Structure 1
Amino acid sequence: MSRTLFSFGHGYSAQALSAKLIPDGWTVFGTTRQAEKAQQFKADGVVPHLLPDDDIMEDLRSASHLLISAGPDADGDPMIGMLGDQLVRMEFEWIGYLSTTGVYGDHNGGWVDETTPLEPTTTRGKHRVLAEQQWTDLAERFGFTLHIFRLAGIYGPGRGPFSKVRSGTARRIIKENQVFSRIHVEDIARVLSGSIRHPNPGAIYNVCDDLAAPPQDVIAYAAELLGMPVPPAEAFENAEMSPMARSFYAESKRVRNDRIKEELGITLAYPDYKSGLSDLLLRMGQDASP
């Protein structure tokens, strides 16, 4: 099997995957629009392409595997918009599209799985549904080996609640029936690499841990780990928040992850936020003192 991945929109999750693949002899190409990130890619062993100036076609054609994680807009996926018909002349052993569980919309704390109808209420979720449909249409028309991964809220090294708790900016905003599903970035990489080993064209996977939880519980646990006071509770109805922050409370659901376990044989390294946060703190070399 050829071992070349082209990563379009080489962000946080894609970087976690490349960190698993490169030591196994893979070549990874990654796109970015920031020169600073391109330099970091080089340091990580990734061959960078700085958009929009770099010509990506030669490396894209040479790739056996394609990962798309660039954020869509009202026109859908930017890779499709940029390359159009050129894509249909390429052959990949595996294509992965990183979407979001936001495509399911609001279920007032109820359960969703991969068969749940897509009824997003946020603009971000609607853009993801459009991009998913664009890639699905291409896959059906041209026989692409497409796999869709709907990611829950992502956390991991450099992305966690500890800095906000330490700085005193963490907030425990309480909204009735509000729960989120989450996933550690290293478990995302575990799922993606599992799919690469066992491709199933057309498959859709929810990528989340086993414990959906209210956001205030996560903040409280982080504070306890640090040995700091738990921030006071604030009622959602009275909390001053930016429109972006408020939009994260617009949807509430619990996401089932049975398919990644049953079909891909995934055992999560961090099956809940408590195990994930405890490990993050340990890696940061910090003890429980404030």
Structure 2
Amino acid sequence: MKNIKQSSFGKPRLLILGCGDVGMRLLPLLRHRFRVFAVTSQPARCAELRAAGAIPLVADLDQPATLARLSCLAQIVVHLAPPHSVSEKDQRTRNLVAILPERTTLVYISTTGVYGDCGGALIDETRPLMPHNGRARRRVDAEQVLRHWARRRSARLAILRVPGIYAADRLPLERLRKGTPALIAEDDVYTNHIHADDLARIIVAAIFKASPLRVYHAADDSTLKMAEYFDAVAAAFALPCPPRLPRAELQKVVSPMLLSFMSESRRLQNRRIKSELGVQLKYPDVQNALSAMIADGKC
């Protein structure tokens, strides 16, 4: 995704869809290089987006009639919007690509859940996709829709597969305070992480440096099992470590959604973001980030 040029009217235009926490972290990195438009379905957020340096646009990916004004608006699109929580398809992504012009540059934020359970194996981006739940199947569908669109419309697509996002205000503190149990070591799963600030920086690198139709693991260097992650956060915030239960007992006391996260184990290689995108992680692992939070008085 090289050779992004100034338009004849000044800065190149960039459109963000799904401008939540990560999108807000993106804006300071982008607003000096681009004229940034941020889509929201909530008119009440327009003032917040404008104050952060974006031009807010009210539109709804679930309402195709509201999207026409986005067509040909920007040369670059960052697609952070999650699929709707129903169906096996991502209709939102279908609605989006229906209005995008040829030769658009698009960075899509997907999930590492598309791999399903890998039994703790260390995997790279060539691992076959085997989604085990509706959330992951919708992401696979979105990736497939975008690949087809990119090939058909000569567009430039990069897919970032993202694991668990964390930051000082995105930690499992309430879960720890409630004493929600974790798995015993022999039943536990490997989990993967990325700090929200590093994810924003990876997205910017992908805009400028990603190869077309390339997939990247937007993950840090951590190698932690899930209970180890909870223990590290608990120690940083002086909270009790969660109790441990065997899987057969734990599945009786946690929600099906939480259990689904505790049923997939994988470790991610992240060489591509370093060698191809030139990313240097500010927070190489969870413990490094927690130490920084302690130093900053956030713990």
TM-score category (smaller protein)? 0.7 to 0.9
Map 1:38-187 onto structure 2 (within 5 A): 38-52=46-60, 55-73=66-84, 74-81=88-95, 84=98, 86-87=99-100, 89-92=101-104, 94-165=105-176, 167-169=177-179, 171-174=181-184, 176-187=187-198
Matched, 1:244 2:244: no
C-alpha displacement at 1:27, in angstroms? Answer: 2.0
Secondary structure at 1:72's aligned position in 2? coil
Question: How far does the alpha carbon of each residue in 1:188-233 deviate from its partner, in whole angstroms, 9 at most, with x for none?
Answer: 1111111222241111101111123111111211221223332322
Match of 2:18 in 1: 9
The one of 243, 260, 268 aligned to 2:281: 268
In structure 2, how many angstroms separate the alpha carbons of the residues matched to 1:224 and 1:249?
21
Q: Which amino acid aligns with 2:283?
A: Y
Match of 1:20 in 2: 29
Secondary structure at 1:98's aligned position in 2? strand
TM-score by length of 1: 0.88
In structure 2, how many angstroms separate the alpha carbons of the residues matched to 1:20 and 1:169?
38
Change (3 A) 1:55 1:116: same
In structure 1, how many angstroms separate the alpha carbons of the residues matched to 2:232 and 2:260?
23
Q: Which amino acid aligns with 2:17?
A: F
Identity of aligned residues (%): 30
8 Å CA contact 1:170–1:219 kept in 2: the answer is: no
Q: Which runs of 5+ in 2 are unaligned?
A: 7-11
Change (3 A) 1:162 1:279: farther
TM-score by length of 2: 0.85
C-alpha displacement at 1:273, in angstroms? Answer: 0.9
Change (3 A) 1:205 1:235: same
Number of aligned residues = 281
Q: Which amino acid aligns with 1:4?
A: R
8 Å CA contact 1:161–1:170 kept in 2: the answer is: no
Secondary structure at 1:137's aligned position in 2? helix
Question: How far does the alpha carbon of each residue in 1:45-84 deviate from its partner, in whole angstroms, 9 at most, with x for none?
Answer: 2222223389554454231210112122423240422562
